[in-house]
């Protein structure tokens, strides 16, 4: 369709909404109720434009372009119509911008300045409504500020399909509330604070913290699960104030964040962070310097190197790809083959040659889920599953039994996705063999640890002749180095991790907190977190994601890569150059994996006997290896 917007000619596909067409020529049409992901609602009328040949103003958000259409967004008539809508929206608005968290990034402020009259003829007193209404564990509602655009209500209905939020009452008395009066609570609540075009819905964690112009913004990837949503990290005075969505991140997050990725950020400034290397002497930890830590670590490894099989390294799922690559390279240089990223329930992270992309899940006719629910392990990916089901009619089948799954699936299904948690290898093997009859099967393994797939690709798996985590613990090696893993808490009980580490002569643990595993260490190395370092990770679907540091790491901590460099120097081992590491990461990250679910190369299955899965709102998701790194928003208070 060819059309003209404010004199600019453009061509767009049939069916394009006028509001989207105008965006292409960078012509702003103000919107409140419309949102690209939610579609038109036609509620607020702020998007009025003049269309040649039409007697009345039209709403751009719900008008499809037609060939030859001539549109004027700033004609006298359009301006007058829009100014009237804004005046009506402001009639009962408290105009408390100086104390409103949205101030400086509010569409009502901006549009009132750009398109409003600057004054009002309304002389009646404004309607008073409750302020700081506690909507649930994460959100506060200011009823006076709400312009009833219903974006929040429609997000709950269309995207989350929970339909908790509703408009109660009618006319000037209408307010947003949960339908049942129960607290507003699901895994994606924080998104409504970004959707809300005014300061009606605000996050408890961000209220009264900052103005947008005081924030220093960086863009990075979330590492709180294996999805890796792009996110903005906003920092003030060296502290994280908030994290926000990246609307353009179509491939991974679809423009959303889950509440874990959004709110689980307080641990970075926890006073419980480890900030100095600790060495256990006579059963008590003493603080030491980094040089001494490297010397002690290197000396223990040098002594054990006469029998390389007595050395082991576990971890990688919390590290970057670069760190995991250097980790396996350094320990292989010592002659050991005892390398494993797996220290929890999950046994496999790479879904093999039939691996699907994150966005592809939306096109499936059937989605087969085996093991832990994706909503727990990969929340934002679960939103895509809901989209596939609710918009495209996909069926979700719980696939713990291959024969029953095939029977339930019936014939005629051409495109199906198999999502597995990689825990029970025997189940994975059966599903892989039996479900291969589906013509276009795509496979996904959603992981416990954010970079499980990357760690696997970088080589943190025991090769022939090497031991896996269970065997390393069983054999009680001379030196075990653990990086960001907590097998005492998360490994299957049969590993006997606590007893094994208690009898291992030298245990090194790189950690952010004093975990159950760190307590058993000989040497604890305080590590930096994901917002404090750069590098790449790999999503469960194989996307290479970049990390950009947003925070200064606490003094005394080091990134795992810096620890490995320090150790290599103490051992006089030459590490690959930065360029070599980057080339190796790029090459390995894109390698097609030829194996399938439950491949024998992953070793023995330990069934489901690991630490029980945790729920998002009760101590963190399963990918989080320590309770302190957990969503604690339930305890957040509404600030006075």
**Site residues (vs ligand SF4, CB under 6 A):** 146-152, 176, 195-198, 200-201, 222, 224-225, 227-229, 253, 257-258, 260-261, 378-380
Closest CB to ligand FES among residues 83, 389: 83
Give CA–CA dist 557/540, Å, rounded: 28
- Is there a contact between 103 and 207 (Cβ–Cβ < 8 Å)? no
Binding residues for ligand FES restricted to 282-321, rule: CB under 6 A: none
Least distance (Å) between residue 420 CB and ligand SF4: 18
Using the rule CB under 6 A, give the single segment among 40-48, 194-202, 456-464, 518-526 that binds ligand FES.
40-48
Query: Which one of residues 12, 33, 147, 470 is an interface residue with ligand FES (CB under 6 A)?
Result: 33
Residue 32 interacting with ligand FES (CB under 6 A): yes
Nearest to ligand SF4 by Cβ — which residue? 261
Q: Which does 228 bind (CB under 5 to 8 A by kind): ligand FES, ligand SF4, none?
A: ligand SF4
Task: List the single partner that 45 binds among ligand FES, ligand SF4, none, CB under 5 to 8 Å by kind.
Answer: ligand FES
Of the pair 41, 584, the CB lying nearest ligand SF4 is at 41
Kindly tell me which of 65 and 165 has the beta carbon lying closer to ligand SF4: 165
Least separation in angstroms between CB 20 and ligand SF4: 20
Q: Which residues of 4-37 are buried (b: 16+ CB within 10 A; e: fewer)?
A: ebeeeebebeeebbbbbbbeeeebebbbbbbbeb
Q: Is 124 exposed, middle or buried (0-12, 13-18, 19+ CB in 10 A)?
A: exposed
Distance CA 403, CA 399 (A): 9
Of 176 and 366, CB closest to ligand FES? 176
The answer to the question of residue 35 lying near ligand FES (CB under 6 A) is no
The answer to the question of residue 42 lying near ligand FES (CB under 6 A) is yes
Measured CA to CA, the distance from residue 335 to residue 414 in angstroms comes to 48
Out of 47, 69, 300, 326, point to the residue binding ligand FES (CB under 6 A). 47
- On whether the CB atoms of residues 480 and 314 are closer than 8 A, the answer is yes
Size of the site for ligand FES (CB under 6 A): 12
CA nearest neighbour of 297 among 151, 289, 59: 289
Which range touches ligand FES (CB under 6 A), out of 31-39, 227-235, 255-263, 428-436? Answer: 31-39
Phi, psi of 622 (to 5 degrees): -70, -20
User: Burial of 289 by CB count in 10 Å (0-12 exposed, 13-18 middle, 19+ buried)?
Assistant: exposed
Residue in 12, 18, 45, 245 binding ligand FES, rule: CB under 6 A: 45
Interaxial angle between packed helices 402-409 and 425-435, expressed in degrees from 0 to 180 and rounded to the nearest 10: 40
b/e map 509-519, b = 16+ CB within 10 Å = bbbbbbbbbbe
Q: Shortest approach of ligand SF4 to residue 202 CB, angstroms?
A: 10
90 binds, among ligand SF4, ligand FES, none (CB under 5 to 8 A by kind): none
Q: In angstroms, give the least distance from the CB of 100 to ligand SF4.
A: 12
In terms of residues, how long is the chain? Answer: 640
Q: Tell me the closest approach of the beta carbon of residue 93 to ligand SF4, in angstroms.
A: 10
Can you tell me which of 3, 5, 22, 31 binds ligand FES, judged by CB under 6 A? Answer: 31
What minimum distance in Å lies between the beta carbon of 203 and ligand FES?
A: 24
Cβ 149 to ligand FES shortest distance, Å: 7
Contact window for ligand FES (CB under 6 A) among 44-52, 216-224, 448-456, 541-549: 44-52
Q: Per-residue x/- marks for ligand FES, 55-74, CB under 6 A?
A: ----x-x-------------
Distance CA 638, CA 205 (A): 9
Instruction: Find which of ligand SF4, ligand FES, none residue 85 binds, CB within 5 to 8 Å per kind.
Output: none
Kindly indicate which of the ranges 29-37, 152-160, 296-304, 308-316 contains the residues binding ligand FES, using the contact rule CB under 6 A: 29-37
Q: Compare residues 45 and 185 and give the one whose CB is closer to ligand FES.
A: 45
Do residues 346 and 422 touch, judged by C-beta distance below 8 A? yes
Task: Determine contact, residues 559/608, Cβ cutoff 8 Å.
Answer: no
Residue 440, beta-bridge partner list: 415
Nearest to 605 by CA among 467, 426, 421: 426
Q: Are 235 and 241 in contact (CB under 8 A)?
A: yes
DSSP string, 285-301: EEE--HHHHHHHHHHHH
Would you count residue 44 as binding ligand FES (CB under 6 A)? yes
146 interface partner picked from ligand FES, ligand SF4, none, CB below 5 to 8 A per type:
ligand SF4
**Residue 578, Cβ density class (10 Å: 0-12 exposed, 13-18 middle, ≥19 buried):** exposed
**Which CB sits closer to ligand FES, 59 or 201?**
59
**What is the C-alpha separation between 119 and 87, in angstroms, rounded?**
8
Q: Which is nearer to ligand FES, 36 or 281 (CB)?
A: 36
Instruction: Select the binding partner of residue 150 from ligand SF4, ligand FES, none (C-beta < 5 to 8 A, by kind).
Output: ligand SF4
Contact code string over 220-239 relative to ligand FES, x by CB under 6 A: --------------------
Sheet architecture: strand order including 523-526: 284-287, 278-281, 523-526, 506-511, 479-483, 311-315, 339-340
| Residue 153 binds ligand FES, judged by CB under 6 A | no
Residue 113 burial by CB count (10 A; 0-12/13-18/19+): exposed, middle or buried?
A: exposed
Question: Residue 322 carries which DSSP code?
Answer: H
Q: Under a CB-based contact definition with an 8 Å cutoff, are residues 103 and 109 in contact?
A: yes
CB of 94 to ligand SF4, least distance (A): 13
- The closest alpha carbon to 443, from 419, 414, 426, 413, belongs to 419
In whole angstroms, what is the distance from residue 447 CA to residue 429 CA? 17
- Helices 76-91, 107-115: inter-axial angle, 10-degree rounding: 140
C-beta closer to ligand FES: residue 29 or 441: 29
Question: Residue 34, interface with ligand FES (CB under 6 A)?
Answer: yes
Question: Considering the complex, what minimum distance in angstroms separates the CB of residue 31 from ligand FES?
Answer: 4
Residue 198 binding result from ligand FES, ligand SF4, none, given CB thresholds of 5 to 8 Å by partner type: ligand SF4
Inter-residue contact 364 to 375 (CB < 8 Å): no
553 binds, among ligand SF4, ligand FES, none (CB under 5 to 8 A by kind): none
Nearer to ligand FES among residue 44 and residue 397 (C-beta):
44
Q: Does 108 bind ligand FES (CB under 6 A)?
A: no
Question: Using CB under 6 A as the criterion, which residues of the chain lie in contact with ligand FES when the complex forms?
Answer: 31-34, 42-47, 59, 61
């Amino acid at each position: 369709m060819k059309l003209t917007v404010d004199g600019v000619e453009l061509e767009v596909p049939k069916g394009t909404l006028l509001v989207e067409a105008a965006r292409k020529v960078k012509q702003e049409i103000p919107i409140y109720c419309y949102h690209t992901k939610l579609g038109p609602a036609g509620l607020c009328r702020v998007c009025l434009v003049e269309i040649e040949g039409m007697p009345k103003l039209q709403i751009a958000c719900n008008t499809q372009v037609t060939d030859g259409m001539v549109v004027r967004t700033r004609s006298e008539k359009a301006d007058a119509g829009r100014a009237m809508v804004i005046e009506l929206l402001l009639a009962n608005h408290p105009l408390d911008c100086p104390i409103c968290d949205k101030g400086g990034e509010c569409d009502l402020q901006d549009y009132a300045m750009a398109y409003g009259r600057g004054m009002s003829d309304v002389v009646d007193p404004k309607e008073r409504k409750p302020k700081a209404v506690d909507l649930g564990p994460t959100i506060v509602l200011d009823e006076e500020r709400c312009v009833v655009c219903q974006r929040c209500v429609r997000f709950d209905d269309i995207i989350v399909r929970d339909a908790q939020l509703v408009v109660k009452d009618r006319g000037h008395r209408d307010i947003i509330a949960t339908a049942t009066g129960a607290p507003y609570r699901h895994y994606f609540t924080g998104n409504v604070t970004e959707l809300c075009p005014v300061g009606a819905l605000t996050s408890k964690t961000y209220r009264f913290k900052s103005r947008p112009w005081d924030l220093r913004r960086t863009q990075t990837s979330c590492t709180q699960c294996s999805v890796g949503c792009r996110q903005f990290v906003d920092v003030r005075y060296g502290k994280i104030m908030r994290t926000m969505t990246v609307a353009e991140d179509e491939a991974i997050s679809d423009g959303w964040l889950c509440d874990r990725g959004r709110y689980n950020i307080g641990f970075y400034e926890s006073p419980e962070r480890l900030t100095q290397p600790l060495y256990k002497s006579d059963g008590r930890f003493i603080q030491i310097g980094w040089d001494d830590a490297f010397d002690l670590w290197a000396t223990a490894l040098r002594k054990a190197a006469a029998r390389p099989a007595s050395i082991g390294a576990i971890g990688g799922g919390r590290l970057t790809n670069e760190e995991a690559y250097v980790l396996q390279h350094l320990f292989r240089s010592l002659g050991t083959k005892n390398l494993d990223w797996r220290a929890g329930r999950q046994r496999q992270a790479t879904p093999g040659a039939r691996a699907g992309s994150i966005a592809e899940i939306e096109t499936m006719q059937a989605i087969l889920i085996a093991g832990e629910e994706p909503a727990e392990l990969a929340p934002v990916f679960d939103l895509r599953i809901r989209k596939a089901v609710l918009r495209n009619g996909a069926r979700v089948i719980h696939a713990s039994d291959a024969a029953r799954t095939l029977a339930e699936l019936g014939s005629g299904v051409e495109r199906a996705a198999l999502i597995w948690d990689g825990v029970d290898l025997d189940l994975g093997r059966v599903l892989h063999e039996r479900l291969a009859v589906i013509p276009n099967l795509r496979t996904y393994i959603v992981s416990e640890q954010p970079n499980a797939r990357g760690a696997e690709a970088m080589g943190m798996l025991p090769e022939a002749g090497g031991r896996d985590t269970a065997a390393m613990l069983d054999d009680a090696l001379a030196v075990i180095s653990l990086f960001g893993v907590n097998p005492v808490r998360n490994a299957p009980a049969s590993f006997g991790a606590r007893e094994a580490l208690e009898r291992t002569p030298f245990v090194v643990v790189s950690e952010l907190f004093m975990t159950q595993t760190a307590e058993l260490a000989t040497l604890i190395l305080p590590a930096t977190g994901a917002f404090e370092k750069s590098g790449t990770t790999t999503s469960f679907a194989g996307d290479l994601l970049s990390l950009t540091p947003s925070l200064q790491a606490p003094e005394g901590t080091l990134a795992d890569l810096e620890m490995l460099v320090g150790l290599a120097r103490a051992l006089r081992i030459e590490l690959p150059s930065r360029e070599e590491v980057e080339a190796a990461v790029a090459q390995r990250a894109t390698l097609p994996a030829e194996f399938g679910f439950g491949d024998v190369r992953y070793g023995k299955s330990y069934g489901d006997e690991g630490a029980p899965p945790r729920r998002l709102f009760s101590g963190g998701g399963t990918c989080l290896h320590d309770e302190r790194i957990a969503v604690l928003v339930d305890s957040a208070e509404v600030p006075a």
